[in-house]
Amino acid sequence: MTSVKKPPAACLIGWPAAHSRSPLIHHYWLRTLGIAGGYVIEAVPPDEFKDFVFRLSLRGFVGANVTLPHKEQALALSKPDARARAVGAANTLWYEGGELRSTNTDIEGFINNLDACAPGWDRAEDALVLGAGGASRAVVFGLIERGIKRVHLANRTLDRARALADQFGASVHPVAWDAVADVLPRAGLLVNTTSLGMHGQPALKIDLALLPPHAVVADLVYVPLETPLLAAARGRGLQVADGLGMLLHQAVRGFELWFGQRPQVTPELRALVEADLKKV
Ligand code: NAP
């Protein structure tokens, strides 16, 4: 009897199983690299997550992406790398020597997108990061790792910015939300990690005229693709990095870990996902 080996497959585990662009991204890479493999969405409620992860390989998966509300539980149930530990949340699971490992790819997604969109951005000595939630932790970690001298961290709830500064050390400086304008003139990089500007959320009100002329502006929000912040930055002739670029770049490492080839973020892939976002 000949046994037929099933092609490797990964999944996205979330609850509820919201519409995600990840299958579009991974199917594009599988197709263009000629790899027989799969990527599916798995809706798993919180009380079933532990069991699902323990049986991940028995279910035929070589790994997974993890999204809300499971990212902290994924960290606890696996052997995390330094990045997942620093962020306090894992978004990618894979097997290494039979052991379930985890990482957080938002850090490299953010940094690699900046490198692609605004080479030289890291000449900035001062960065201003807006927001102190989960995504902000990845951004702040990435900026410190890259050697940015001062990361000014402004958040509506100042205590959350303070807690993050306590964790990440002396290069992070908490800033009150109403003091943002004081920091803008020396910010070589401005990053929005809040949900402001997102479809259905209030706009982010900030006077970009105060930024220096060489500043780079990044927004993590990607629905809409062109946020009012990015539109205003482009209007001032500043370099920008958008949230879709980060989303695409953060997907690279998971694919490589599961399927063994490092994929490229191509203009064709971007156009494919952009078209899907326009359906929103
Ligand atoms: P989160 O943990 O819920 O944090 C939300 C942040 O937004 C907090 O700092 C919160 O401030 C702030 N905020 C919310 N409403 C606000 C308001 N009305 N005024 C001022 N600040 C407000 O969310 P997250 O996971 O960090 O995600 C944040 C954004 O990043 C979302 O839009 C998400 O889609 C996006 N994101 C994009 C990518 C990508 O690949 N492009 C990856 C991850 C996240 P308080 O602390 O005061 O509540």
Tell me the CA–centroid distance for residue 272 and ligand 1, in Å: 25
Give yes or no for residue 160 CB within 6 A of ligand 1.
yes
Q: What is the mean pLDDT of residues 90-107?
A: 97
Residue 6 has a pLDDT of 83
Q: From the CA of 87, how far away is ligand 1's center (Å)? A: 14
Distance CA 247, CA 242 (A): 9
CA of 130 to the centre of ligand 1 (A): 9
Q: Do 124 and 143 contact (CB within 8 A), yes or no?
A: no
Q: Is the pLDDT of residue 1 over 60?
A: no
Mean pLDDT of the chain: 96
pLDDT of residue 278: 86
**9-105+251-277, what's its fold?**
Rossmann fold (3.40.50)
Residue 243 is predicted with a pLDDT of: 97
Give yes or no for a contact between 255 and 263, defined as CB atoms under 8 angstroms apart: yes
Give residue 4's pLDDT band: very low, low, confident or very high (50, 70, 90): low
* pLDDT tens per residue, range 147-168: 999 999 999 999 999 999 999 9
Q: What band does 75 get if pLDDT is binned at 50, 70 and 90? A: very high
196 lines ligand 1 (CB under 6 A): yes
pLDDT tens for 118-148 read 999 999 999 999 999 999 999 999 999 999 9
Using the predicted structure, report yes or no on whether residue 270 has a pLDDT greater than 70.
yes
The pair phi, psi for residue 221, each rounded to 5°, is: -65, 135
Distances in Å between the alpha carbon of 29 and those of 37, 100, 252, 263, 270? Answer: 10, 24, 9, 6, 12
User: Nearest to residue 121, comparing CAs of 204, 190, 185?
Assistant: 190
Question: What local confidence, expressed as pLDDT, does residue 19 receive?
Answer: 81
Average pLDDT over residues 243-248: 98
Q: Which of 52, 49, 129, 132 is nearest to 87 (CA)?
A: 132
How confident is the model over 58-81, as a mean pLDDT?
A: 96
Q: Which H or E element spans position 64?
A: strand 61-66
Q: What is the reported pLDDT for 139?
A: 98
| DSSP reduced 3-state for 31 | helix
pTM, entire model: 0.96
The pLDDT, as a whole number, for residue 3 is 59
Mean pLDDT of 37-41: 97
Cα angle value 76/78/80 (rounded, 5°): 90
Residues of the chain with CATH 3.40.50.10860: 9-105+251-277
> What pLDDT band is residue 100 in, cutting at 50, 70 and 90?
very high
CATH 3.40.1190.20 fits 107-245, yes or no: no
Which protein residue's CA is at the shortest distance from atom 41 of ligand 1? 243
The pair of three-digit structure tokens given for residue 37, joined into one six-digit string: 């493999």
Ligand 1 in contact with 243 (CB < 6 A)?
Answer: yes
What is the pLDDT at residue 231?
A: 97
